[in-house]
A and B are shown apart, each in its own frame.
Chain A
């Protein structure tokens, strides 16, 4: 294998699994160390800069970081990254003096954002400090988009939304709330230099099976129902509720139902339990609230009498895999299953809807009737129109919306300055030794043996009685410290300098995870099997260094390295060093030729 180019900007970034997996690339270990040090405000600001809504995301993020967390590969559970983020938000105190103010010289450019959800607000936050006038339109009377309209308050209190949306409003947004945009051409005709579409995926998919029309009074579309609940238009539901669907919206629907009078709430899913789209912890929370999840049942009909819904019938299916590994749900031939109920919530998916974009507005649409959007620049085929969030590529989540917002803001800024939007500003990378003394490092390299700590929950009887009582109470400072100590500091990189190495094997002998091998070079597949422990995780790189006196190579499997620094502590010549890798993702306003 060729020697690894550790100067390549993504190499060490990939080693920080959590940060690499995060769409916004939040520097997770960096803020977790600050939480351990009790510097909550500093931890919050790192988050705020990167993901804009730390308090919201600390409660509701889909957490792509956690399945990626290296800790989950060396013991049972990853670090509770998401809940530590919430700790930073909960204990930060007043950070208003750290935020950019509204007092910015205007650059004369005007940007319109359609929708006041997380994507648009991110665009606004990135562009306002640069002097843009950002006009935000939303059909609702208040900003927040799906954060406010779809996430139940028992998961995300309104005060947290108000606070973090408020930080951006205070930067000088020009709000046009309560104004629904019904024509892109109309908006294009106005005097805007760029338009950002962050209107979400507002249409819940329906289920067209017999009985749908007749029993319509008690059949509700999940996201519409959630939003009616959020805005207080609905405050009760029947005693027996069926929720159709296996995603996070279904979990929000069933748990909301439990709080609005649903005593017997069941979730019914076409697929198996493991294939459900809902996050595992959301399924756990639902089941903890006595909500059974019934799998492999395909809705057949809504049953009704005299125009009243009485129940639903389902066909039993099983998963059969063909030779290509594709799954088919095949009827088992067993008798249909009938579940009596008073109300049904349909949460079987969401769709984008752009009835307000005229097909002759200069935007190409693809064969699925979706606007064609560049995945890097977020620009549509009308150069003045940009997309982000669920509006861009269909339903994803908040953290993706934020990432789209950052990318779109860069593009809009470059577009408005007459620069090529395909040319992207580089990320700023800092790498620095953490050595403080012979055996002292600027980070806590002693590895905690603790398992993952559970977040305390509110008493179930109280929580189920009031839809506004937050279920998760969050870590206190003591638990937060202990959970933070579980972080392996994957951003503190093992950096090897071959010309200093005397091949004494000290690093090989001390490494608790058998990551390091000195051996003859070979092809990757062969090398991976010849290491101290076989390197079977192909998603993780081998760090190869050559130039040793014996002409062997140093091969380090990055997979399960604890970043404990013992290799560097036991190295007599300083050939190993522990160096902190920080990447500051490019934001709007960064120059392309600054290095």
Chain B
């Protein structure tokens, strides 16, 4: 870890967004993770995405569980709301917060241990309920804080730092998210910000359950020969199906690409996602096709990345439950506590 604070001075030509903030204004404290940790790159990508979208920091709530990944919300968005929950319980806390105040943007940050082991049930249910959130798993395939045991997302046959192979089948969170009905599903790599930043931006604008699995090499315990989550392995086996540009509602489309190579999808909020197809036959709006494609490529040892599935018209949990459109903190006492007469009436309706 680094003991000095990051200097306040910044590049004199650093751009500002339309709120007048620079990217530096979206930073948090200096990371205490190991030098070179992929998670720090994901933090930088989140910072960049929020800066580019010019999100007011107080409109974001960042929630996490326990683990290396779950420490990272301290290192970005220092002026946003934050909640560091119990191990694996971030999805329930996030769901509760979302139910109470639907006006915030919910950013859940988790890891492969937090989401694929202790919190697997929480992960699954928050996705299948369609909570409007961005759920990022910083996936390094090891338990870094306990010195490098295989995690549940470690591929079968992947070797530990000591050369011992993993015999257990890996949980693929992307396949699970697709099967469980996430309406925005992507996978990326901490070492490829050009792909990761727009993927996060698209997820932040998405009005449903958005899930991003981000492979993030653990330089301390999982960046060796024989690991399937090392920088070298991921770079060699990265099968990116598309690149994307996020075009917020206000902006005009200025760039043009070869016809047939691009696909523009308008999301519910009016923002547009422009996809540059790298694998022409891949259709990110075909959920079953996506699941098949993932399994085929996985069998070949490839890591499929990009925006893998998008439902531009998602429904979310608030719609299913018909909840109040006004956040609880804006309701008065009369609405929140309607009194004994209302309770009596309600009870009577259940008799």
A513–B11 touching, CB < 8 Å:
yes
Contact present for A509 and B11 (CB under 8 Å) = no
Q: Choose from A503, A513, A536, A570 the contact partner of B10 (Cβ within 8 Å).
A: A513
Which residues of B are at the interface with A, using a C-beta cutoff of 8 A? 1-14, 24, 30-31, 34-38, 40-41, 43-44, 190-191, 193, 217, 219-220, 223, 231-232, 235
Q: Are B6 and A504 in contact (CB under 8 A)?
A: no
Name, among B10, B30, B35, B231, the residue most crowded by chain A CB atoms within 10 Å (CB to CB): B35
> Chain A: interface residue count, which band?
20 to 34
Contacts of A566 in B (CB 8 A): 2, 4, 6
Quick one: which of B4, B9, B41, B220 contacts A74, CB cutoff 8 A? B9
Q: How far is the CB of B350 from chain A (nearest CB, A)?
A: 55
Q: Closest residue of chain B to A565, judged by CB? A: B4
Cα distance A550–B31 in the bound complex, in angstroms: 26
Once A445-B4, A503-B231, A510-B6 are accepted as A-B contacts, the answer to whether A572 and B43 lie under 8 Å apart by CB is no
Name B1's closest neighbour in chain A (CB-CB): A439
Are A571 and B2 within 8 A (Cβ)?
no
Task: Give Cα distance in the complex from A534 to B220, angstroms.
Answer: 33
Per-position 1/0 for A340-372, Cβ under 8 A of B: 000000000000000000000000000000000
Q: Is the CB of A439 within 8 A of B40?
A: no
Once bound together, how far apart are the Cα atoms of A180 and B36, in whole Å? 70
- Given A439-B1, A504-B37, A572-B220, 17 new contacts (CB under 8 A): A75-B9, A439-B3, A447-B7, A449-B7, A502-B223, A504-B231, A505-B41, A505-B44, A506-B41, A514-B11, A550-B235, A566-B2, A566-B4, A569-B2, A570-B40, A572-B36, A572-B219
> Mind listing 28 A-B residue pairs with CB under 8 Å?
A439-B3, A445-B4, A446-B5, A447-B9, A449-B9, A502-B232, A504-B36, A504-B191, A504-B219, A504-B231, A509-B43, A509-B44, A512-B9, A513-B9, A513-B10, A514-B11, A514-B14, A533-B11, A533-B14, A549-B232, A549-B235, A564-B7, A569-B2, A570-B31, A570-B36, A570-B40, A572-B35, A572-B37
- Scoring A439, A505, A509 by chain B CB atoms within 10 A of each residue's CB, the highest score goes to A509
List the A side residues contacting B34 at CB < 8 Å.
Answer: 572
Q: List, in ascending order, chain B residues with CB within 8 A of A449's CB.
A: 7-9
A106 at the binding interface (Cβ < 8 Å): no
A398 on the interface (CB 8 Å rule)? Answer: no
CB pair B35 A506 closer than 8 Å: yes
- Which residues of chain B are near A513, meaning CB under 8 Å? 9-11
Q: A485-513 CB contact bits vs B (8 Å, 1 = yes)?
A: 00000000000000000111110111011
B35 engages A562 (CB within 8 Å): no
Within 8 A of B (CB), among A559-595: 560, 562, 564, 566, 569-573
Q: Are A571 and B8 in touch, CB under 8 angstroms?
A: no
Does B219 lie within 8 Å of A502, measured CB to CB?
A: yes
Bound Cα distance from A514 to B22, whole angstroms: 12
| In the bound complex, CA of A562 to CA of B41 (Å) | 21
**Does the CB pair A502–B36 fall under 8 Å?**
yes
Secondary structure at chain A's binding surface: helix, strand, loop or mixed?
Answer: loop
- Given A504-B41, A504-B219, A534-B13: A512 and B7 within 8 A (CB)? yes
Which residues from A are CB-within-8-Å of B219? 502, 504, 572
Does A327 sit at the interface, judged by CB under 8 A? no
Which residues of B have CB within 8 Å of A506? Answer: 35-37, 40-41
Please list the residues of chain A having a beta carbon within 8 angstroms of any beta carbon in chain B. Answer: 73-75, 439, 445-447, 449, 502-506, 508-510, 512-515, 533-534, 536, 549-550, 560, 562, 564, 566, 569-573
Q: Are B191 and A570 in contact (CB under 8 A)?
A: no
B contact residues around A515 at 8 Å (CB)? 11
* C-alpha spacing A562/B193, complex, angstroms: 24
Determine the distance from Cα of A430 to Cα of B91 in the docked complex, in whole angstroms.
Answer: 56
Q: Complex Cα distance A503/B36, Å?
A: 9
Q: How long is the Cα–Cα vector from A439 to B34 in the complex, in angstroms?
A: 12
Q: How far is the CA of A211 from the CA of B52 in the complex (A)?
A: 70
Give bound CA distance, A449 to B5, whole Å: 12
Which residues of B have CB within 8 Å of A446? 4-5
Q: Decide: B36 and A512 in contact? CB cutoff 8 A.
A: no
> Which of B1, B3, B8, B190 is A505 in contact with, Cβ under 8 Å?
B190
- Min CB distance, B230 to chain A, in Å? 9
CB-defined contacts of B1 to chain A, threshold 8 Å: 439
Inter-chain CA distance A569–B37, complex, in Å, is 12
- Give the CA-CA distance A179 to B30 in the complex, in Å: 68
Q: How far is the CB of A148 from chain B (nearest CB, A)?
A: 42
Distance (Å) between the CB of B34 and the closest chain A CB? 7
Please give me the residue from chain B that is nearest to A550 by CB atom: B235
Q: Are A562 and B223 in contact (CB under 8 A)?
A: no
Docked Cα-Cα span, A164 to B35, in Å, equals 50
Instruction: Please determine whether B4 and A564 come into contact, CB atoms closer than 8 angstroms.
Output: yes
Closest to A447 in B: B7
How far apart are A197's CB and chain B's nearest CB, in angstroms?
A: 46
- How long is the Cα–Cα vector from A510 to B193 in the complex, in angstroms? 14
Contacts of A73 in B (CB 8 A): 12
- How far in angstroms is the closest Cβ of chain B from A548? 11
Given known A-B contacts A549-B235, A570-B40, A572-B34, A503 and B191 have beta carbons under 8 A apart: yes
C-alpha spacing A549/B236, complex, angstroms? 11
Expressed in whole angstroms, the Cα–Cα distance for A566 and B217 within the complex equals 20
| Closest chain A CB from B144 CB (angstroms) | 13
CA of A508 to CA of B35, assembled, Å: 12
In the complex, what's the smallest C-beta–C-beta distance from A350 to chain B, in angstroms?
Answer: 38
Whole-angstrom distance between the Cβ of B140 and the nearest chain A Cβ = 12
From A533, which residue of chain B is reached at the shortest CB distance? Answer: B11
Known: A505-B193, A571-B36, A573-B36. A512 touches B235 (CB 8 A): no
Contacting pair A509 B6 (CB below 8 A) = no
Given A504-B217, A504-B219, decide whether A439 and B2 contact each other with a Cβ distance below 8 A.
Answer: yes
Report the nearest B residue to A509, measured CB to CB: B44
- How distant is the Cα of A508 from the Cα of B41 in the complex, in angstroms? 9
Q: How far is the CA of A582 from the CA of B61 in the complex (A)?
A: 50
Separation in Å of the A568 CB from the closest CB of chain B?
Answer: 9
* Min CB gap B41→A, angstroms: 5
A74 to B219, CA, bound (A): 33
Q: Which of A445, A505, A534, A564 contacts B191 (CB 8 A)?
A: A505
Residues of A within 8 A of B35 (CB): 506, 569-572
**In the complex, chain B residues whose CB is within 8 Å of the CB of A564:** 4, 7
A residues in contact with B4, CB < 8 Å:
445-447, 564, 566
Q: How far, in Å, is A70 (CB) from chain B's closest CB? A: 11
Q: Could you tell me the distance between the alpha carbons of A509 and B75 in the complex, rounded to whole angstroms? A: 11
A515 to B13, CA, bound (A): 12
The residue of chain A having its C-beta at the shortest distance from the C-beta of B75 within the complex is A509
Distance between Cα atoms of A334 and B31 in the complex (Å): 66
> What A residues does B13 contact at CB under 8 A?
533-534, 536
Pair B40/A509 contact, Cβ less than 8 Å: yes
For the complex, give the distance between the alpha carbons of A449 and B38 in Å. 30
C-alpha gap A366/B105 in the complex (Å): 77
- Measured between C-beta atoms, what is the minimum distance from A542 to chain B in Å? 15
Residues of A within 8 A of B9 (CB): 74-75, 447, 449, 512-513, 562
A562 to chain B, nearest CB (A): 6
For the complex, give the distance between the alpha carbons of A74 and B10 in Å: 7
Of A74, A445, A505, A533, most buried by chain B (CB within 10 Å of CB) is A505
Which residues from chain B contact A439 at a C-beta distance below 8 Å?
1-3
A510 to chain B, nearest CB (A): 7
